[in-house]
Chain A
Amino acid sequence: MENGFEKVEYGLRLLKKDTEKIDKEVNFVDKFSKYIVKEKNYSFKMKYILTYTFIFLLILNLFVTIEKLNLEKAKKSYIVNFTEKKDNLPETLNISLNKNNKCEKKENRITNLKSVKDENVSPIEESIKFTEEINKIIDLFSVNLNIGGKNVEI
């Protein structure tokens, strides 16, 4: 068997003889058919789950869109209300301005009163100052004499 091809053919024939020896009945198909049934059930379950998930998501999506629409409606109504209020805003401003004017008038009155008071207070202060000066002059001329153990002020 020096020729390589002969070796190969001989080896293949030996293997062929082996196949002839195999006479046992094999049964892989039953095992596989069980697997197919399982797989079918599984795929059915998967389809079932997927369908329900899809329906749930659809409903959820609908709910979300409805909520969005409601929100937009509410937003619009708020905007309308706001604009209406905005239109009414000048009147309120006038009122507040009047109020402010009143306040200013009050303040003016108070300041006037204060000034009047100030005017009234100033002569008194002047008289106080005058008396103080007189006292100082008197102090200048006053002499303390100690007569018979008694201090006499002249």
Chain B
Amino acid sequence: MENLNEKVLVELAKKGNNDAFVSLLKNVENRLYKVAYVISPDEVEDIIQETFLQAYLSIKKFKGISSFYTWIYRIMMNIIYKRNRKKRPLIKNVNIVFQNDEELKEKVREALKKLHPKLNEVITLFYFEEYSIKEISKILNIKEGTVKSRLFKGKKVLKKFLENKK
């Protein structure tokens, strides 16, 4: 089952073949884990399980335009965003000096959690997965200009988060 082409596996999974779905998940599990761990290390297990469940419930809606990884990655980003949307305790303090790298990492992590999924997916694909802008545009099926603008907007929002939060 694992040797089969992704498209075949997706078609089988859509028809209700659980083994095909499981092998699809095995292919993307580690990559998803790394991204989820970076953004939300405390909730990584919950996020992964929720992502798998959501993907399992909506596999029939998957059109196959993008790769399975991109599709499930977007699901995960939405889950992270929804989980952290309500948590917005922002205290205004513009001039911040971070004591150390750990503190900065924590702030960026917190900001990433609250970033809109569309911006988050571009940021994480560019910085963590190290895809080029061209590759990201192909993966997400959007124009290169859109990727660039989302990258800029994402960083701008992150900057805003860092400036507003102590």
Contact = CB atoms under 8 A, between A and B. Distances in A.
B77 interface: no
Given A19-B128, A28-B52, A10 B104 contact: yes
Contacts of A93: none
B22 A28 contact: no
A40 B155 CA distance: 44
Contacts of B56: 32, 36
A8 B159 contact: yes
Interface in B5-54: 18, 21-22, 25-26, 29-30, 33-35, 37-38, 45, 48-49, 52-53
Nearest to A11: B108
Interface string A6-26: 011111111110110010011
Nearest to A4: B159
Contact of B155 (A5, A29, A35): A5
B22 A32 contact: yes
B123 interface: yes
A9 B155 contact: yes
Contacts of A95: none
Nearest to B26: A29
Contacts of B162: 4, 7-8, 11
Contacts of B128: 12, 15-16, 19
Interface string B103-137: 01101110010000000000100011010000000
Nearest to A27: B29
B29 A18 contact: no
A37 interface: yes
A26 B29 contact: yes
Given A11-B108, A12-B127, A28-B48, A40 B18 contact: yes
A142 interface: no
Given A9-B127, A15-B38, A15-B128, 14 more contacts: A10-B104, A11-B104, A11-B107, A11-B162, A12-B108, A15-B105, A18-B37, A22-B33, A26-B29, A28-B29, A28-B33, A31-B49, A32-B49, A33-B18
